[in-house]
A and B are shown apart, each in its own frame.
Chain A
């Protein structure tokens, strides 16, 4: 055993953890959650809530486990009578002024106060009909409401704004039982990462205006995904209710985004609920498009491709998965292919307290996946080539009027898309593909980290994943070709990913390209 490891016993479980670990983190590794409010792994621990008190043998008093480092031979009792009594007392104090408005509180169902009171709190109150403290609801910022009455003063939001966002506008105002979270006069909580204080709040005190009253926690289906906002590749959860995406939340990944996502990414879900999706393959006959089934659509599209000999251009939207890009390029093999991804640019918004975390300027999730797969032409150059190319494949890219105009000279245009675009000229096929929320796939972020995302809702109509459509086109081109059946097979057969499967990526992802190599 290395000297950097410390062996201790927690509730009868003996384990070794690195020196300097707090008792609460060690307990987590032993599978024991010590109830806590002020402690959060991505924030400094002030030990103000007194909820994580545990008994440690040979120490005279109970100690807060969030700031107590482990020591050799320590014997910790999380569930000893003394520790439980202390925590029960803390909970009773918290509930003196906490309103009983769980039925109208957005946090109900995912509230840590509910959880821990249910777990260790008193069954009844000793306060009878005494009036509770009452304060009005405050408007903190563009998307944040502060419900003062529900606040338990854990100060996670204050510490996030002070130490992580480096925009110290929140404070604890007043003293004792009159204390509340105050905001500096003349300021608003409008930092581009401020939305995280809603997730950090263990109770329903800080609530999102966008999500307010929309759904109950137990109504939601939760699925792991990757944010499509920029090249950072933050891990998120997509919460859906009845096939409708109602909110995005950060998913912890200590390597990429820790516990945070920015407000731009958080608000970027409405396109997932679009109702005007293409639901069936549309094949051009004469000057009209006709709905067909997939067999006919693939056959006609391949025939149209075969008739159009010459160079090809692939115009890719920023949310195309690596599988889709790879197989679209594969379907055009034998031609000179110019492929480019459309990358909208925006302002960079870093999160000061976390290194290498920012809302990036390049607002395209899979830019580095595209570069890795060879779709590395500059966008303007690709458009220029497209104006005289034989085949142009528009892969779910939003084109503006000038870009559509640039395609006028193209031979045939194939549109693999979620939403139809009637402006496109020379359309031979509109093939409906699934969006990020409806398929399994892999994005590569700016550090060369491949991360997978999972489907959160069912695709509309006959829409299929982009790689499925592209690989069918490829397979129909010659008799001895077999298209992949699953997304993971589609990924494994791409040379750039050298046999990597979705399972290999796990939920934290894996670096597939050396840092910097994938950068433009």
Chain B
């Protein structure tokens, strides 16, 4: 079967390109005079006009107490609520006999960043972070263990506040 070919009727002569070029240049020079909206990322990461939302939900951070120990008590609520099943928790005891996680790992690749873990945490230990730069050289590095989660320094998410739905 023959393939149908549509023949366009383009004028091949008698039309000047000068007019179209000028039109394009007018647009270009118009933008040259307008205020700049592009941000020079990564040199500039936020400006007065634009910064990342405080309720952004990014990679996790575990908060620590005054002694620098994780606040987690291994209650098991975050692995229970996690819809992506990305939190691995093995409870145990620390030296003082308090309940403490022996293993606490979050697979950030599996995580869907819903923030339920932060909402459910009774100790305000695990938080989703205001953070979005996560490049690594290997996939394994995206499984954050307790030490790494506690070492994160980025701010934590405020999550959505029902009394202030628009974040004003």
Interface residues of A (CB under 8 A from B): 102-104, 108, 212-216, 218-219
Contact = CB atoms under 8 A, between A and B. Distances in A.
Given A213-B99, A218-B80, A103 B123 contact: yes
A12 B76 CA distance: 41
Interface string B52-81: 000000000000000000000111110010
Contacts of A108: 75
B91 interface: yes
Contacts of A213: 74, 91-93, 99
Contact of A103 (B75, B92, B93): B75
B73 A104 contact: yes
A108 B80 CA distance: 13
A103 B91 contact: no
B125 to A, nearest CB: 10
Contacts of A103: 73, 75, 77, 122-123
B99 A216 contact: no
A214 B80 CA distance: 15
22 contacts: A102-B75, A102-B122, A103-B73, A103-B75, A103-B122, A104-B73, A104-B74, A104-B75, A104-B98, A104-B99, A108-B75, A212-B93, A213-B74, A213-B92, A213-B93, A213-B99, A214-B91, A216-B91, A218-B76, A218-B80, A219-B76, A219-B80
Contacts of B75: 102-104, 108, 216
Contacts of A215: 91
Nearest to B80: A218
Nearest to A214: B91
Interface residues of B, number: 13
Nearest to A109: B76
Nearest to B79: A219
A484 to B, nearest CB: 39
Contacts of A218: 76, 80
Contacts of A219: 76, 80
A215 B93 CA distance: 12
B162 to A, nearest CB: 17
B84 to A, nearest CB: 17
A219 B76 CA distance: 9
A212 B97 CA distance: 10
Contacts of A216: 75-76, 80, 91
Given A104-B99, A213-B93, A218-B80, 9 more contacts: A103-B73, A103-B77, A104-B73, A212-B93, A213-B99, A215-B91, A216-B76, A216-B91, A219-B76
Contacts of B123: 103
A294 B92 CA distance: 41
A218 B76 CA distance: 9
A504 B114 CA distance: 49
A214 B90 CA distance: 8
Nearest to A106: B99
A243 to B, nearest CB: 14
Most central of A102, A213, A216 by chain B CB within 10 Å:
A213
A103 B77 CA distance: 8
Contacts of B98: 104
Contacts of B76: 216, 218-219
Nearest to B77: A103
Most central of B74, B76, B92, B122 by chain A CB within 10 Å:
B76
Nearest to A108: B75
Most central of A102, A103, A214, A215 by chain B CB within 10 Å:
A103
A365 B155 CA distance: 59
B35 to A, nearest CB: 52
Contacts of B93: 212-213
B94 to A, nearest CB: 10
A218 B80 CA distance: 8
B166 to A, nearest CB: 28
Contacts of B73: 103-104
A266 B75 CA distance: 25
A108 B74 CA distance: 13
Nearest to B101: A213
Nearest to B75: A103
Contacts of B122: 102-103
Nearest to A242: B90
